[in-house]
């Protein structure tokens, strides 16, 4: 298990409570933002104090309660949201991009996210999220009524319009300097195709959803013939390891130490998943029968439809790794 930077933050997570904001290192604050109506309970955004103003990593849901909670926390720390100059988004999921545009209206902040996750680019090259999901569900081989029901569930919870406009959309490793603080944007596909981690050269890496303190990484949706998110993830984990960070700051759970050991643990887990699929799969199998034979945290028969959808799409990504 990862070593928490603050035991109380980890204890709150394990108790299924929303923790208080905490200072990870001097000038870097972890701010948990409660997620209204979500089983995730909260997403952690990170506020960095620099000589050139405040910098934010990730931006919760687009919901008034998220914005109000974030605003209160920033003021309690002793800062003002109007002083935020730049918002770095790790990826384009709704619990990460939510109030970024509202913050830009309030503070004129610049918004940065990886090129492949830029909504305009994504729609042009891959289609919108729901289009990708529909294609993936069809690729799984699930019965049409099952695939239709899973898709309808996703439509009901698609909570953002994919209209956010970026000021910067780096496709390669890019340095952003704020006085004596440098953040390196490092493309790390695997969870999404444009997922980006941000390496603070003082030794912190903001890992988004690529590498949390505990548990696996949810692989990206497979919707095109060249998609292989498991292979993407293995390359991304190696790239994170090479950064030499001493503290990882994920968007969920809690900040932790021993980053290289966590990379090795997560890599071994997902390589084990690929090998397990290789052993389980028969010629001609689709992801649908495979997912029902795989080992999940709870038996397939006990999973709700939403959990089955996540696991089914994950199984499709693992099957793509084996078949390629």
Give the pLDDT of residue 41: 86
Q: How confident is the model at residue 157 (pLDDT cuts 50, 70, 90)?
A: confident
Nearest to 38 by CA among 1, 93, 112, 91: 93
Burial (Cβ within 10 Å: 0-12, 13-18, ≥19) of residue 169: buried
Question: Does residue 160 surpass a pLDDT of 80?
Answer: no
* Coil, strand or helix at 212: coil
In sequence order, the β-bridge partners of residue 48 are: 28, 55
**Residue-level pLDDT at 1:** 64
Over the range 196-221, which residues count as b (16 or more CB within 10 Å of their CB) and which as e?
Answer: bbbbbebebbbbbbbbbbbeebbbbb
119's tokens = 């909504």
pTM of the complete model: 0.95
What's the rounded mean pLDDT across residues 206-215?
A: 97
Does residue 53 come out as left (phi exceeding 0), alpha (psi in the -120 to 50 range) or beta?
left
Length of the chain (residues):
324
For 267-316, the pLDDT digits (tens) are 999 999 999 999 999 888 899 999 999 999 999 999 999 999 999 999 99
Alpha helices in the chain (DSSP H): 7-14, 64-77, 94-97, 100-107, 119-125, 129-139, 144-157, 229-243, 259-280, 287-293, 305-323
Query: Which pLDDT belongs to residue 161?
Result: 75
58-62, 113-117, 235-239 — which is least confidently predicted? 58-62
Check: CB of residue 286 under 8 Å from CB of residue 318: no
Name the CATH superfamily housing domain 3-126+161-274.
Ribonuclease Z/Hydroxyacylglutathione hydrolase-like (3.60.15.10)
pLDDT tens track for 57-79: 999 988 899 999 999 999 999 99
Mean pLDDT of all residues in 134-157 = 93
* pLDDT 10s digits, 31-56: 999 986 667 789 999 999 999 999 99
What pLDDT shows up at residue 2?
A: 87
Element counts in the chain: helices (H) and strands (E): 11, 13
Q: Taking residues 110-131, what's their average pLDDT? A: 96
Which pLDDT does position 155 carry in this prediction? 86
Higher pLDDT, 63 or 160: 63
For the residues 245-250, what does the mean pLDDT come to?
A: 98
The pLDDT assigned to 103 comes to: 97
R_g (Cα) of the chain, nearest Å:
19
Residue 228 has pLDDT above 70, yes or no: yes
Q: Residue 203: pLDDT above 80?
A: yes
Coil, strand or helix: which one is 76? helix
Predicted local distance difference test score (pLDDT) of residue 159: 66
Sorted by sequence, the CB contacts under 8 Å of residue 74 that are 6+ apart come out as 31, 47, 80, 81
Q: Which pLDDT tens digit goes with each residue over 3-24? A: 999 999 999 999 999 999 999 9
pLDDT recorded at residue 142: 97
Return the domain boundaries, the chain.
3-126+161-274
Q: Please, what is the average pLDDT of the chain?
A: 95
């Amino acid at each position: 298990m990862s070593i928490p930077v603050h035991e109380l933050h980890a204890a709150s997570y394990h108790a299924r409570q929303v923790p208080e904001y905490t200072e990870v290192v001097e000038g870097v604050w972890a701010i948990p933002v409660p997620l209204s109506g979500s089983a995730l309970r909260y997403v952690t955004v990170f506020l960095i104090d620099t000589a050139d103003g405040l910098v934010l990593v990730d931006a919760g849901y687009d919901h008034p309660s998220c914005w109000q909670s974030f605003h209160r926390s920033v003021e309690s720390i002793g800062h003002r949201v109007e002083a935020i100059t730049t918002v770095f988004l790790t990826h384009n999921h709704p619990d990460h991009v939510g109030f970024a545009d509202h913050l830009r209206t309030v503070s004129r902040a610049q918004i940065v996210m990886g090129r492949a996750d830029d909504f305009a680019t994504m729609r042009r090259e891959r289609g919108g999220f729901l289009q990708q999901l529909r294609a993936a569900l069809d690729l799984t081989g699930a019965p049409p009524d099952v695939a239709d029901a899973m898709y309808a569930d996703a439509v009901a919870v698609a909570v953002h319009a994919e209209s956010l406009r970026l000021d910067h959309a780096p496709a390669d490793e890019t340095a952003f300097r704020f006085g004596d603080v440098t953040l390196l944007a490092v493309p790390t596909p695997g969870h999404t195709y444009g997922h980006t981690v941000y390496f603070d050269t003082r030794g912190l890496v903001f890992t988004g959803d690529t590498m949390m303190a505990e548990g696996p990484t949810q692989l990206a949706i497979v919707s095109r013939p060249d998609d292989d998110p498991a292979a993407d993830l293995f390359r991304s984990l190696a790239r994170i390891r090479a950064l030499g960070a001493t503290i990882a700051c994920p968007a969920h759970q809690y900040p932790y130490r021993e980053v290289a050991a966590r990379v090795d643990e997560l890599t071994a887990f997902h390589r084990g998943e690929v090998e397990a699929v290789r052993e389980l799969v028969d010629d001609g199998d689709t992801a649908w029968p495979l997912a029902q034979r795989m080992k999940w945290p709870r038996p397939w028969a006990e999973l709700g439809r939403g959990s089955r959808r996540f696991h089914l799409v994950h199984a499709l990504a693992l099957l793509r790794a084996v078949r390629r």
